[in-house]
Amino acid sequence: MNSKGKYLPILLFSCVALGIVIGGMVNFPKRTLSKQNARKVKIEQLIDFINEEYVDDVNSDSIVDMTVNTILANLDPHSVYLLPSEQSSEAEIMKGDFVGIGVNFYMYNDTVTVVKPLENGPAAKAGILSGDRILYADNSKLFGRKLPTDSLYSKLKGKEGSKVLLTIFRKSTNKKLKLTIEREVVPIKSVDTYLMFNKTSGYIKINRFAENTYDEFRVGLEQLKKQGMTTLVIDLRDNGGGYLEKAVEVIDELLKDKELIVFTKNRKGIIDKTFATEGGIFEKGKVFVLIDENSASASEILAGAIQDNDRGIVVGRRSFGKGLVQEEQRLSDGSTLRLTIARYYTPSGRCIQKAFNGNMGDYIKDHEARINKGELYYKDSMFIDKSLTYKTKKGRLVYGGGGIIPAVFIPLPIMNPSPLMTRLYFSEAISAYVFDDLQGNRTPWRTINELNAYVFTDLEITRLLRYVGTVYGINTTAEEKVANGAELKRRLKEEYARQLWERDGIYKIQNGESKEINEAIKILLR
């Protein structure tokens, strides 16, 4: 996948932060909190004293929250405390669904505009079309206001079975319409896409390990096998983890009976091993796993299991390095504590947790340090702790000490984006141009393959640049047009694919240019 510049790894890190926080979670039986002891009494006395004697009024709840966060910050970087208000959106993501109307939208100028309604979703069944502008949700005005995303979601989400009256403007007919939509459970996919990129090689992209991940993966795996797949590429790039047990279920379809998947060890030295079972769907074909610096936790478990069992080849860049397992404890006020209760180890015995010196700032900056050292760009700059050596099933050397090290290194392209491309990227001008263009014709290409084969002309790029100059004030010179022509054509094609076919489309387009996938294909042909 092409880079948007040196700043891209930092942007991607922020996008997968949520996945990393929740990565490696397991569902354990609830346990009651320990009985009062001297340390607990000490904390209670401190809070009571502040409440009663402090010179100003204080919020005792906020003091407790700060106390808990301070304690956890000194333990490890992945033990976290979540207030009730912080849990709902995360719970939806990991559950794999939410209740709403089922539309993909963005703010076009100052109006909520439907990019694409979910197929067979409540909005589609009610008659919502791509390009519709949502003006009102019941009596709430949604246009001409800079509403934050959370506020917009609250207007469109609701209880299952509840109804919302939408007032929309349809540009194709130049008319206002009122449509009543009954909210339904809307799935959130954790498997972005599955597809064949040649006659024998299949591709599955997993964006996180949620409750529905295994079911989605199994469907994709079975469909690809029916199409003749003998080689599987699993894409875990930018996958920040999720539920450990779901990653295990995925791996179980790839490993033979009784092969070790992962084991955990707690402070008491108790080891819990997890083995593959018989009857996996894809135990014999070739396997490639794509990882990068944002692949964490459950993603690393999968990559490590494949690598240590000599089941396949790991391709990409050194993974994040999260080898800690959290247990979730719901507290009496509805808040939640996620406490690290064990470390996990790959089959060879590797703990891939990267170093933590007690300073969260340094821990986070490790990602930036990788960039500065050139690790994402040069194989020789990749950190390898050769004092922590382990052997795979067939005796190959692998290394611990921080992340999964791929067998085949693929550098992030070194690209200094031009001022033009940077301005276009942050303005969303290309997205707006494509959206406007599709208003007149929603089917310029009948299939993804047609679009993939299409070659954009210089005249089309001229029209694009004329649009962004008029609408966004981003003016370009003839020299900039020539210098950025190829990148503009690539970005334009990706955006058409995204708006017409969503994730399936964009992955189909991007995979033809993916260095990781192309490298996997080269290995296949050797």
Q: What is the pLDDT of residues 436-482, one digit of tens each?
A: 888 766 667 888 888 888 999 999 999 999 999 998 899 999 999 99
pLDDT tens profile 137-192:
998 888 877 666 666 777 888 889 999 999 999 877 889 999 999 999 888 889 98
Of 292, 308, 354, 489, which one is the catalytic site residue?
308
Q: How far apart are CA 328 and CA 334, in angstroms?
A: 12
Average pLDDT, integer, range 99-123: 84
pLDDT at residue 318, rounded to an integer: 94
Whole-number Å distance between alpha carbons of 484 and 461: 10
Question: Mean per-residue pLDDT for 41-53?
Answer: 79
Looking at residue 3, what is its pLDDT?
Answer: 41
Question: Between 412 and 127, where is the model more confident?
Answer: 127
> Can you tell me the distance from the alpha carbon of 509 to that of 502, in angstroms, rounded to the nearest whole number?
11
- Amino acid identity of 400? G
Long-range interactions of 111-118: CB distance < 8 A, separation 24+: 111/135, 111/142, 111/143, 111/144, 112/142, 112/143, 112/152, 113/435, 115/435, 115/499, 116/499, 116/500, 116/502, 118/186
Tell me: pLDDT of 309 over 60.
yes
CA triple 46-47-48, angle to 5 deg: 90
Contact 382, 370 (CB under 8 A): no
More confident residue, 461 or 3: 461
Residue 96 near residue 190 (C-beta atoms within 8 A)? yes
The CA distance from 146 to 137, in Å, is 15
pLDDT of 279 over the 50 cut: yes
Q: Is the pLDDT of residue 377 over 70?
A: yes
Asked whether the beta carbons of 294 and 320 are under 8 A apart, the reply is yes
Residue-level pLDDT at 208 = 94
Kindly indicate the confidence band of residue 104, based on its pLDDT and cuts at 50, 70 and 90: confident
Tell me what the pLDDT averaged over the chain comes to: 84
Q: What is the mean pLDDT of residues 216-225?
A: 97
67-76, 350-359, 434-443, range with greatest mean pLDDT: 350-359
* CATH fold of the domain at 98-187: Pdz3 Domain (2.30.42)
Share of the chain above pLDDT 90, in %: 40
pLDDT in tens, 288-300: 999 999 999 999 9
- How many C-beta atoms lie closer than 10 Å to residue 519's C-beta? 18
For position 414, what pLDDT does the model report? 66
Mean pLDDT of 320-329: 89
Output 18 or 49, whichever has higher pLDDT. Answer: 49
Bridge partners for 133 per DSSP: 113, 169
| pLDDT value at residue 18 | 45
Query: Alpha carbon of 268 to those of 35, 325, 341, 343: distances in Å?
Result: 20, 15, 10, 12
**Could you say which of 201, 297, 319, 514 is catalytic?**
297
Write down the pLDDT at residue 364.
Answer: 78
Tell me if residue 88 falls in helix, strand or coil: helix
Q: What pLDDT sits at residue 88?
A: 62
Query: What are the strands, taking DSSP E only, across 188-323?
Result: 191-196, 201-206, 231-235, 260-265, 271-275, 286-291, 313-316
pLDDT over 70 (residue 521)? no
pLDDT at 96: 66
pLDDT at 62 over 50: yes
**Is 60 exceeded by the pLDDT of residue 34?**
no
Q: Please, is 377 exposed, middle or buried when counting C-beta atoms within 10 Å of its C-beta (0-12, 13-18, 19+)?
A: middle
Residues 6 or more apart in contact with residue 111 via CB below 8 angstroms: 133, 134, 135, 142, 143, 144
Compute the distance between CA of residue 319 and CA of residue 6 in angstroms, rounded to an integer. 18
Residue 194 dihedral angles phi and psi, to the nearest 5°: -140, 135
pTM, to two decimals: 0.79
322, 489, 493, 508: which one is catalytic? Answer: 322
CB 116 within 8 A of CB 496: no
CA nearest neighbour of 293 among 344, 349, 364, 346: 364
In single-letter form, the type of residue at position 129 comes to L
Distance CA(247)–CA(302), nearest Å, equals 6
pLDDT of residue 457: 93
4 — pLDDT class (breaks 50, 70, 90): very low
| Structure confidence at residue 259 (pLDDT) | 98
The rounded percent of the chain whose pLDDT value lies above 70 is 85
Q: What share of the chain is helix, strand, coil (3-state, %, to 5)?
A: 40, 20, 40
SS (H, E, C) 279-290: CCCCCCCEEEEE
- Cβ count near 65 (within 10 Å): 15
Rg, Å, the chain Cα set? 25
What confidence score (pLDDT) does residue 43 get? 76
Dump the DSSP string for 434-497.
Answer: HHHHHHH-S-SSSSHHHHHH----HHHHHHHHHHHHHHH-----HHHHHHTHHHHHHHHHHHHH
Statement: residue 510 has pLDDT above 50: yes
Q: Is 232 helix (H, G, I), strand (E, B) or coil?
A: strand
More confident residue, 78 or 164: 164
Tell me the CA distances in angstroms from 128 to 125, 169, 181, 193, 473, one per residue in order.
7, 10, 9, 24, 32
Query: CA-CA distance, 339 to 486, in Å (whole number)?
Result: 49
To the query of whether residue 322 is one of the catalytic residues in this protein, the response is yes
Say yes or no to pLDDT of 14 above 50. no
The predicted pLDDT at position 7 comes to 39
Give the residue, 8 or 130, on which the prediction is more confident.
130
Average pLDDT over residues 62-77: 79
Cα-flanking dihedrals φ and ψ of residue 11, to 5°? -65, -45
> 255 Cβ partners below 8 Å, 6+ apart?
261, 276, 280, 283, 305, 309, 311
Average pLDDT over residues 324-353: 88
Look at 7-11, 193-197, 241-245, 370-374 and tell me which has the smallest mean pLDDT.
7-11
Residue 364 half-sphere exposure toward CB, CA atoms < 13 A: 12
Q: Give domain limits for the chain.
A: 98-187, 191-324+343-414, 419-521
Give the CA distances from residue 451 to residues 227, 295, 454, 506, in Å, rounded to whole numbers and listed in that order. 22, 30, 5, 11
pLDDT at 91 over 70: no
pLDDT higher at 16 or 53: 53
Q: Is 191-324+343-414 a domain of CATH 3.30.930.10?
A: no
